[in-house]
Structure 1
């Protein structure tokens, strides 16, 4: 494991203390949060390169060439940490970091699932190493399974591959445990992987929505350390009682944070030192009004004390993941990742330093994160077309959407030929990128008047087609194919709206701000055609995800999650 700072750098840092070298930046008269004392203190913060070399009362003996910033009447807090990022929600790690940095979030702990499914470890690690060069802090967790049913599961998620991820110093945990029912039913393979992670000093993150006290106790014995699925104050207490680290969620499909914090404040639970916050992979437009700054504002609005609000987005996370020596703390030796605020009641920073680089100054962007080379991700190129023979929908049952992400089986009684009427049932097809198999069924509750809809964005990267008109579905497929990936809505042979996803058919190659506008246009067009749920992007993502009840369309076929049973296999073309 390479040291964060090499010997030469450390000697230079010591030279600043000794008055033999000037620091790069001094934040003078700074009122800043001392995370260990849980107090606001006033002092001077010396920075050399990406590191705080001193924080206290003194000024440097040597100031030649130093940028001195007078922070009188300002408040400084540590850079915010997002502890549970899914950085592939149409945006990609670099674009989302570039957006978040302007709002004070300067560190991610992120999901590796999309990298694992699309790249060899060698190629994935090359991208991770490139990301590490940016003035932003990227950390990762490694998955133990695909959270769907795949033929290549054991090959992709082998013990050797998982161990290679776990041995990286920027991989902090294993999980999240979406496949926890398998553990409780005796899956020693997953338990072995958890023990590999624990043996290397990594945390284990659960995924236990609605879990009973008994289930939480059993999962704790199996090795789970934390969970982010509490939806009520009672569920927060249940996790705390069993010794879990609890991350409170505020996401596009589960915006639970306001009522959770309000309940914790009302019950006067003395647990804020043990809580973290996350936006849990929200889709782009949810972030129009913020990321971790948004969570802090929610906490302040709920009556949480300012210091506790900021600690839940910085120091608490750093302590839990054993990196408070680098993050979440304005003190000597830490990364120079700092947010300069108007005051503690306004968490959107006026200025942002990330690893000693100004990302924002006095309300203006002054730095763009450099582009990252994603060419290792295979291009979305299809060498096949669809015809009428592919559009046979003879299954006696289909998939009904209970909400954005929960499904159940239903008996479909409609005639499945030609144009469907304006009811809430549509054709649904999943087909792989090679065109070698497809799964056909019906979907109820998606929309009443969507004619042709195609998406290369899905949990596994396979193609989803939905619609009432088979010709429009084929047109949407061809348009998606022509633009080398994307989400396309077609009506009467015309493209209504599209989101191009030219990075591997999964990710948008552009700014998050532009992506937000495209996503909003898509959601508006779907709403006008009868989509009444909250987040269509999550619906696409989770149609294949077998960690949620009750029935899923997967690469193997239609799968009953509760019975762990394949109901209908995929059809070879």
Structure 2
């Protein structure tokens, strides 16, 4: 047996004891061969690394994430993720699939990456139904069965349609869940289960869903885990009170730390490693935080060859200079050094070769001033309007009603203290335009627009000034998609995303700076949220409580009932 590499004198993480031991590691053929306190030099390695004073942990595994949230293709994302010690991901590519359907998913599958990227089948394209939101692609039972034949497809992605799961036995999502369980009875079925409890939680689990990654509270953690659901913690759920519940009940076997969505500007500062640090800061012991980003996620997804440093497993590991801060010295993938501290992110020599139409996918008309004049059939001075109220933390919203002045027969929304939001169907299918009003959005004059609108990715523009809304929408069309912030006709921030209106092939450092400028411009206009970009982009997500908007208009997330802009006229 030819030994390729020996790591000597390291403090090695034992996943089964959840502790560190002084060991030497022998690696051969891309796998761990022998881990021992004995001198391994008699094995005559090709290379030896002295890791005295350093720590070795398994490569991080992110089992619920969306590559598209980084706004770069898999081939560019690979180097960025590896630089942060992430060696395996399970990606739910429902963003590119909402835009291009199965063709988008297949384009991702064809990309060659050093990072191991496995996929969960996008189970909710669209997230609700075609009657409630227009998408470019559609995933039905036939498409799901097709994808199940691909060896890199190892899970069913988050099932999100609340009404379809809880109240409609013959809905498309229920059909997909049933057929998947027949075809692959041991396939992990991921869920999107926000604010769901009691009998509704039982209905999700009865349909086969066994995991949730949405915003958690101490109460939801206890209820879901004690009822047998596996929980995946994204950043907004990594809170001291939540970590305390896990510690109190020793729930570590039933949780994993994940990213879900990491925006391009945040990716400049970290990926899953940043959430591990956040968990430690919130009170999770270091050893448990490592365990919940390596071994429990591997076990959840059925991996039999990674997640721990043991003989026969893939030699995916990280050398740490400092355990308390998780300061990365080097990252190894399949026993090969792929990143060292201070080195630039590795990018492929060539950009991904997507079809030409991937770069020309925004097919809606330019807004006109008349589009933003909302007529009201009343002689009264005000009307009562239904309004989307944004929260300062997370992506949940609440429905409220506000009185808005009527001027010359039109809604005087520009002087209401609210923002007008418009969602335009962008695929050239029906020309739908949905209208809504938003509270706690922009407090200054201006507008923000995007084609990165969860999950249907229609064109969305929101503003307090009609001229700025027109300027933002027109500029967005010229860029073939992205994010734009405008004030007084001037562009304050611009982030072009020409691939499907959701991706760019520029280096992540460039893209991150562009998105940061957009984020800063939104803050300057008064947007206040723990994640301004995500908050805005999910105003169009009709499966995230409690009121959202699509190209069909505002809707109640749980009932799917349409919510009219004008609640009542006096």
Q: TM-score when scaled to structure 2?
A: 0.86
**TM-superposed deviation, 1:567:** 4.7
Pick one of 80, 89, 102 that aligns with 1:108. Answer: 89
Secondary structure, aligned partner of 1:473: helix
Q: Check whether the contact 1:545–1:552 (CA below 8 A) recurs between aligned residues.
A: yes
1:414 is matched with: 405
**Residues 159-189 of structure 1: CA deviation (Å, up to 9, x unaligned):** 0001222332222222312213322213334
Instruction: Go from structure 1 to structure 2 and tell me whether the alpha carbon gap of 1:59 and 1:277 turns closer, same or farther (over 3 Å shift).
Output: same
The separation in 1 between residues aligned to 2:284 and 2:493, in whole angstroms, is 42
Listed as ranges, the matches of 1:426-437 within 5 Å are: 426-434=419-427, 436-437=430-431
The separation in 1 between residues aligned to 2:280 and 2:471, in whole angstroms, is 49
The separation in 2 between residues aligned to 1:440 and 1:303, in whole angstroms, is 44
The separation in 2 between residues aligned to 1:485 and 1:454, in whole angstroms, is 9
Instruction: Go from structure 1 to structure 2 and tell me whether the alpha carbon gap of 1:371 and 1:319 turns closer, same or farther (over 3 Å shift).
Output: farther
Secondary structure, aligned partner of 1:88: helix
**Residues 503-561 of structure 1: CA deviation (Å, up to 9, x unaligned):** 22112333333333333322222222222233332233222222123433223333333
Q: Which moved more, 1:81-90 or 1:356-365?
A: 356-365
1:51 is matched with: 31
Pick one of 423, 444, 447 that aligns with 2:442. Answer: 447
**TM-superposed deviation, 1:242:** 0.7
**Residues 309-332 of structure 1: CA deviation (Å, up to 9, x unaligned):** 210010111112110x22211122
Secondary structure, aligned partner of 2:399: strand
Secondary structure, aligned partner of 1:89: helix
Q: Check whether the contact 2:91–2:119 (CA below 8 A) recurs between aligned residues.
A: yes
**Residues 105-131 of structure 1: CA deviation (Å, up to 9, x unaligned):** 22212212123222343553242132x
Pick one of 178, 182, 185 that aligns with 2:164. Answer: 182
The separation in 2 between residues aligned to 1:440 and 1:230, in whole angstroms, is 27
Pick one of 220, 226, 234 that aligns with 2:211. Answer: 226
**Residues 119-166 of structure 1: CA deviation (Å, up to 9, x unaligned):** 343553242132xx3221112222322224435679812100012223
1:10 is matched with: none
Listed as ranges, the matches of 1:557-572 within 5 Å are: 557-567=553-563
Instruction: Go from structure 1 to structure 2 and tell me whether the alpha carbon gap of 1:393 and 1:96 turns closer, same or farther (over 3 Å shift).
Output: farther
Pick one of 101, 105, 116 that aligns with 1:124. Answer: 105
Q: TM-score when scaled to structure 1?
A: 0.85
Q: Which runs of 5+ in 2 are unaligned?
A: 377-382, 566-570
**Residues 439-485 of structure 1: CA deviation (Å, up to 9, x unaligned):** 24242222122434322221222111222333332222222222222
1:13 is matched with: none
Listed as ranges, the matches of 1:162-311 within 5 Å are: 162-188=144-170, 189-199=172-182, 200=184, 201-229=186-214, 231-250=216-235, 254-265=236-247, 267=248, 269-287=249-267, 289-311=269-291
The separation in 2 between residues aligned to 1:413 and 1:292, in whole angstroms, is 44
**Residues 267-292 of structure 1: CA deviation (Å, up to 9, x unaligned):** 3x222232211232143444554332
1:554 is matched with: 550
Pick one of 38, 60, 67 that aligns with 2:18. Answer: 38
Instruction: Go from structure 1 to structure 2 and tell me whether the alpha carbon gap of 1:122 and 1:558 turns closer, same or farther (over 3 Å shift).
Output: closer
Listed as ranges, the matches of 1:8-87 within 5 Å are: 16=1, 22-56=2-36, 57=38, 59=40, 63=44, 66-87=46-67
The separation in 1 between residues aligned to 2:558 and 2:427, in whole angstroms, is 30
Counterpart check, 1:160 vs 2:118: no
Counterpart check, 1:332 vs 2:314: no
Instruction: Go from structure 1 to structure 2 and tell me whether the alpha carbon gap of 1:509 and 1:270 turns closer, same or farther (over 3 Å shift).
Output: same
Q: Which moved more, 1:353-362 or 1:478-487?
A: 353-362
**TM-superposed deviation, 1:502:** 1.9
**TM-superposed deviation, 1:103:** 1.7
Q: Check whether the contact 1:127–1:372 (CA below 8 A) recurs between aligned residues.
A: no
Q: Check whether the contact 1:393–1:440 (CA below 8 A) recurs between aligned residues.
A: no
The separation in 1 between residues aligned to 2:433 and 2:136, in whole angstroms, is 22
Instruction: Go from structure 1 to structure 2 and tell me whether the alpha carbon gap of 1:307 and 1:236 turns closer, same or farther (over 3 Å shift).
Output: same
**TM-superposed deviation, 1:79:** 0.4
Secondary structure, aligned partner of 1:176: strand
1:11 is matched with: none
Q: Which runs of 5+ in 1 are unaligned?
A: 1-15, 17-21
Q: Which moved more, 1:413-422 or 1:342-351?
A: 413-422
Instruction: Go from structure 1 to structure 2 and tell me whether the alpha carbon gap of 1:534 and 1:424 turns closer, same or farther (over 3 Å shift).
Output: farther
Aligned length: 540
The separation in 2 between residues aligned to 1:157 and 1:293, in whole angstroms, is 32
**Residues 374-406 of structure 1: CA deviation (Å, up to 9, x unaligned):** 523622355743333433323663432232441
The separation in 2 between residues aligned to 1:331 and 1:349, in whole angstroms, is 21
